[in-house]
């Protein structure tokens, strides 16, 4: 390796990609040993320290759970449940519900997840040890890294069911980690997010491409929903709803624009002329679909007068057959300037979280108020029932038609309510009850005897 005495922010960002995630093909070398992570250099200056977090967000956007491409959870879990049909002739193991422990995709999700966690821990350690960064910069970066660590653990936990919670970059301790119970993981996520919320600023970026206090509270609300901690779910959802940084959007055509006031956190495209990966994936103009389309089951789940059916779904026909694709994002090609960013957290979910938390704790009036805000925007009449079971059912149905094709909400809702089998056994020919969790990668079990396999694999 040739050594250079000078470095720049671009070179360090590329180097971060190499060390943290091994996903960049080129990097600018710096005057350091090739095996040494240059944290003492990276965390000397705010620009390079922020580049460390930028590398994490870029890798989230471009691969793994949160990407809007075919490999992201919006697509994968849509195929895995009853939201999406798959059209190419090659086999899709998620669509067929035929996952196995040695499958490369299963290993890739696990490895990408823990690589992001490693990178987040590296930022936490580097910022903590820095003697040059200001307190303000330190707190924001620590908050962002805690948020990222919690976020990735949340997806791992829900998909694999009780995973190791990794909080350092020490390979010796990390090589012997054990799986925790799912509720233990959720509690650790809660602790990380509370710490993140205390550190993060209200408005870290004008375009909401950095997570702020509202994003941490929104993820806290979702975590508490998954855990069944209803009072806390309501508390954190309320903190987001009452935050003046986020305002309800009545026009369904405007909800997914990059400047939507209902957006809490979103990914900026890789180029200023790009739009979302989701738009490129879901939108098609002629049939048959090139990859995926909405299932008839999902289309039929909408009430006839639901405005989301005409605003967020588009019909395509070849004159004989009809198909439907998600049309939340309207752009599938490059535009002069980006008009849509990929939205990770938005206000409507928080109203539905609070509605469910209220319904499950006996506050039917408050639950209906939140639920009907979402329904009325879609042109639907109020839900009037006071029966708790019926009200929860109505909220879950509303989540289905409001949050479809967004990062697997349908799967996670069926999973947490224990209704996967009843919903999917008739709808998916390959469905089996063991599919409620993914298999742990076979390599992990071989490498670490403390890691055990999920039942049925």
- CATH code: domain of residue 60: 1.25.40.390
For residues 253 and 195, state if they share a domain: no
pLDDT of residue 35: 39
For residues 145 and 123, is the Cβ–Cβ distance under 8 A? yes
For residues 319 and 224, state if they share a domain: yes
Give the C-alpha separation, 91 to 74, whole Å: 18
For residues 280 and 222, state if they share a domain: yes
Give the C-alpha separation, 351 to 366, whole Å: 10
- Residue 295 CA, chain-centre distance (Å), reads 22
Task: State the burial class of residue 454 (Cβ atoms within 10 Å of its Cβ: 0-12, 13-18, 19+).
Answer: middle
Question: In the structure encoding, which two tokens stand for residue 389, read together?
Answer: 């079971």
Domain boundary among 172, 200, 228: 200
Domain boundary among 174, 200, 226: 200
For residues 196 and 210, state if they share a domain: no
For residues 79 and 131, state if they share a domain: yes
Domain boundary among 200, 226, 252: 200
- Whether residue 417 is contained in a domain is answered as yes
Range of the domain at 337: 204-421
For residues 338 and 387, state if they share a domain: yes
- Whether residue 262 is contained in a domain is answered as yes
Q: What is the tally of structural domains in the chain?
A: 2
- Whether residue 442 is contained in a domain is answered as no
- Whether residue 118 is contained in a domain is answered as yes
* Torsion region of 8: left, alpha or beta (phi above 0 gives left; psi -120 to 50 gives alpha): beta
Task: State the burial class of residue 235 (Cβ atoms within 10 Å of its Cβ: 0-12, 13-18, 19+).
Answer: middle
- Whether residue 390 is contained in a domain is answered as yes
- Whether residue 122 is contained in a domain is answered as yes
- Whether residue 443 is contained in a domain is answered as no
- Whether residue 99 is contained in a domain is answered as no
* pLDDT, block means (10 residues), the chain with 457 residues: 36 47 33 46 93 96 96 98 93 95 96 97 96 97 98 98 97 93 98 98 96 98 98 98 98 98 97 96 97 98 98 97 98 95 98 98 98 98 97 98 98 98 93 97 95 96
pLDDT of residue 23: 38
Residues in the chain: 457
pTM (two decimals): 0.93
For residues 220 and 127, state if they share a domain: no
For residues 58 and 164, state if they share a domain: yes
For residues 145 and 213, state if they share a domain: no
For residues 281 and 357, state if they share a domain: yes
Tokens 């200056």 -> residue: 45
For residues 266 and 350, state if they share a domain: yes
For residues 131 and 261, state if they share a domain: no
């Amino acid at each position: 390796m040739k050594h250079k005495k000078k470095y720049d922010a671009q070179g360090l960002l590329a180097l971060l990609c190499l060390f943290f995630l091994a996903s960049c093909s080129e990097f600018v070398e710096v005057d350091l040993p090739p095996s040494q992570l240059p944290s003492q250099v990276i965390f000397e200056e705010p620009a390079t320290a922020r580049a460390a977090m930028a590398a994490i967000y870029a890798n989230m956007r471009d691969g793994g759970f949160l990407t809007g491409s075919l490999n992201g959870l919006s697509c994968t879990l849509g195929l895995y449940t009853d939201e999406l049909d798959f059209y190419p002739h090659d086999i899709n193991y998620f669509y067929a519900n035929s996952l196995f422990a040695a499958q490369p995709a299963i290993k890739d999700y696990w490895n990408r997840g823990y690589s992001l966690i490693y990178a987040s821990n590296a930022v936490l350690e580097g910022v903590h040890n820095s003697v040059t960064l200001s307190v303000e910069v330190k707190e924001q970066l620590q908050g962002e890294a805690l948020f990222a660590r919690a976020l990735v653990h949340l997806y791992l936990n829900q998909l694999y069911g009780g995973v190791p919670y990794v909080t350092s970059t020490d390979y010796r301790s990390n090589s012997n980690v054990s799986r925790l119970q799912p509720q233990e993981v959720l509690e650790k996520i809660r602790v990380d997010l509370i710490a993140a919320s205390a550190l993060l600023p209200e408005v870290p970026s004008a375009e909401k491409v950095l997570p702020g206090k509202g994003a941490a509270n929104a993820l806290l609300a979702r975590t508490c929903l998954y855990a069944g901690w209803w009072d806390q779910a309501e508390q954190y959802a309320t903190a987001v709803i009452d935050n003046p940084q986020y305002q309800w959007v009545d026009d369904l055509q405007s909800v997914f624009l990059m400047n939507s006031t209902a957006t809490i956190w979103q990914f900026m495209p890789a180029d200023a002329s790009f739009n979302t990966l989701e738009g490129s994936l879901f939108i098609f103009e002629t049939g048959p679909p090139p990859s995926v389309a909405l299932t008839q089951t999902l289309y039929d789940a909408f009430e006839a007068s639901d405005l989301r059916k005409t605003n967020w779904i588009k019909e395509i026909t070849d004159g004989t057959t009809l198909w439907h694709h998600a049309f939340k994002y309207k752009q599938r090609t490059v535009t002069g300037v980006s008009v849509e960013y990929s939205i990770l957290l938005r206000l409507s979910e928080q109203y539905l979280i609070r509605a469910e938390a209220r319904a499950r704790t006996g506050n039917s009036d408050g639950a209906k108020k939140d639920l009907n805000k979402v329904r009325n925007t879609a042109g639907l009449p109020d839900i009037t029932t006071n029966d708790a079971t019926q009200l929860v059912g109505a909220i879950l149905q509303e989540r289905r038609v409001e949050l479809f094709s967004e990062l697997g909400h349908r799967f996670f809702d069926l999973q947490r309510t224990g209704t996967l089998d009843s919903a999917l056994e008739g709808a998916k020919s390959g469905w089996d009850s063991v599919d409620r969790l993914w298999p742990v990668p076979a390599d992990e079990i071989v490498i670490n005897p403390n890691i055990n396999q999920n039942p049925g694999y």
